[in-house]
Amino acid sequence: MKINFLGAAQNVTGSKHLIQTQGYNLLLDCGFYQGKREESNQLNSTLPFLAPSINAVILSHAHLDHCGTLPILVKNGFTGKIYCTPATAEIAKYILLDSAEIQKQDCLYFNSHLAENEKPIFPIYTEEDVVKAVAHFEPIDYFRQSNQWTQLNDNIKFKLYDAGHILGSAIVFIEIIEGSVTKTLAFTGDLGREDLPILRSPEYITEDTQTLIAECTYGDRLHKPMPDATSDFKEVINEAIKNKGKIIVPAFSLGATPVFAEVEPDTLCIDPKDIEKRITKYTKAIVVVHYLGHPCDMDPIMEVARRNKLKVVEDCAQGPGAQYRGRYVGTIGDVGCFSISAYKIIGGGESGLVVTRDERTFNRICQCGEGGGLWRPDRCALPRYDGELFVGGNYRLSELEAAINLVQFDKLSDYCARYRKVSTRVLRQLHRYREITPQTINDRDGYIGYLLRFFPATAELAATLAKALQAEGISAGYRGPCHGPDWHMARDMSPVNLKTGHIPGGSVFDDPRNAESRERGGYRPNQCPVAEDLFGREVCISLDQWRSDADCDALANGINKVLSAHCTRDDSGKAWL
């Protein structure tokens, strides 16, 4: 048996340990080296072994420095299985997808700021590479659950103990037979502490261990017992109060846990009836999303909110300029939030906008966004009321972006009018079909109309229609029921579903004020079946605000041609407008 330490040795990142025995190559972890861009790209894109030579991988846990180069391994020719716990398989999928997205965005930013002689950079792997890597995952339970070893070949078997580090983390115990000799090896991965909330304490290996590979990043430090840590924390608080000192706490913990509500069966906007069902004594506010430029049905939503004394926050990121019964979205509820980044309907840099009628809410938003009190009449004065001042994020909009936005806002009403004119002209010419449900428009005069959407009766029909529309030269999109992760969907909102925070213990789910509401249940797959069904059958057609009348007529004729070829025309069906 030969052990090769190829990462996380003499440093603390990029865990890779290769076990070679009798022609079998077993890799323990395949971690991402995290460091300076040039160095990390070199180390991560070029593996220190031939990927096709690796027979199997055992993954200790889902942190990026332990799993982050699995897509490179598969991309370079690995064909075996990646063994890990079910929780690790689920978390690692999202960690890797997030890594691919970060690389993409990092490259876009870097390449847009190249100096004259600099060469562009490219992601070392993509979302597609991640999907292929995840297909190699082979989830296995802890030994305490299954009471079974996992056999790799006639001479190698292993089992997993709980490492107590993060959900799904494992200690790997391997037994290898070489001739008449049985050898044992344990790989700890990263170890957790005993008696912590949520996580189980690390399990003790019961077998004789001849070789131990252990992480020792914090090996020269001793944690205090939890009761002592709690006592120390109280002492710090009391000392600060006694000396009239300051205690700085994270500003990102909102003290509230999100609850997902269903959408209406023909708009993909939040369903007012379902909101009512999900309100409890813990509910503080309702967040509505004006999805893809289509305003929600705000009157019944506001009625539910006012009756239950709840605040309403409007997410208008995809609908600036849309109106509902003569009122602009974002001005109907208590707070309106807008995104004006480059890929929204109107761009003004990477920035956002919040509007409200309430002065104290406005002041709080200003303080959260910048934190220095520059917005106050007297910046350095003492608080004028409880809660006025707190530690903010210092995320101010630049003056250049603000200047661009002012110009862009002047164009917004014209943008919306052109989109609405194009959409209306196309929709009025479309025939009705038995198998097609057009999206309901809550306000015909107020929606924007940069996307034409409809819901075929089945996902199979939706796929057929999208393909046929594309063949006709029409820009049509379709996700399907088995689409990849999308954070517009409740099931894929991993920061919420995994209940993670920006630091250990920093999640809203760790807040003791949420203890009672937390006990009412967590998040689960398929918690919003109406939304998932519609999302899986939805067909979208992109519209261009600059289409001429002739272009609109040609588009309508093309859509009718495709739908008539695959669906049953029915004049009693639902109208498009």
- Ranked by mean pLDDT, which of 208-222, 270-284, 449-463, 530-544 comes out on top? 449-463
Place of tokens 């370079």: 76
Q: What is the mean pLDDT of residues 532-553?
A: 92
- Per-residue pLDDT of 399-438, as tens digits, reads 887 888 888 888 889 999 999 999 999 999 999 999 999 9
Does the pLDDT of residue 346 top 80, yes or no? no
Does the pLDDT of residue 252 top 70, yes or no? no
Among 130-134, 357-361, 453-457, 507-511, which is the least confidently predicted range?
A: 507-511
What is the pLDDT, as a whole number, of residue 230?
Answer: 64
Sign of CA dihedral 428, 429, 431, 435: negative
Mean pLDDT of the chain: 85
- Provide the 3-class DSSP secondary structure of residue 55: coil
Query: What's the pLDDT band for 45 if we cut at 50, 70, 90?
Result: confident
- Selected from 3.40.50.880, 3.60.15.10, 3.40.50.2300, 3.30.230.80, the CATH number assigned to the domain covering 2-213 reads 3.60.15.10
Nearest CA among 200, 170, 201 for reference residue 187:
170
What is the pLDDT, as a whole number, of residue 521?
Answer: 46
Q: What angle do CA 533, 535, 540 make, to 5 degrees?
A: 135
What is the pLDDT, as a whole number, of residue 389?
Answer: 82
CB 559 within 8 A of CB 470: no
CB 455 within 8 A of CB 534: yes
551 token code pair: 């272009």
Among 130-134, 481-485, 537-541, which is the least confidently predicted range?
A: 481-485
Sort residue 293 into left (φ over 0), alpha (ψ -120 to 50) or beta: left
Nearest CA among 84, 68, 229 for reference residue 163:
84
Q: In the sheet where 16-21 sits, what is the strand order?
A: 2-7, 16-21, 24-28, 56-58, 81-84, 137-139
Q: What is the mean pLDDT of residues 53-79?
A: 95
Q: What is the mean pLDDT of residues 162-184?
A: 94
**Secondary structure in 3-state letters for 531-564:** HHHHHHHCEEEECCCCCCHHHHHHHHHHHHHHHH
What is the pLDDT, as a whole number, of residue 254?
Answer: 32
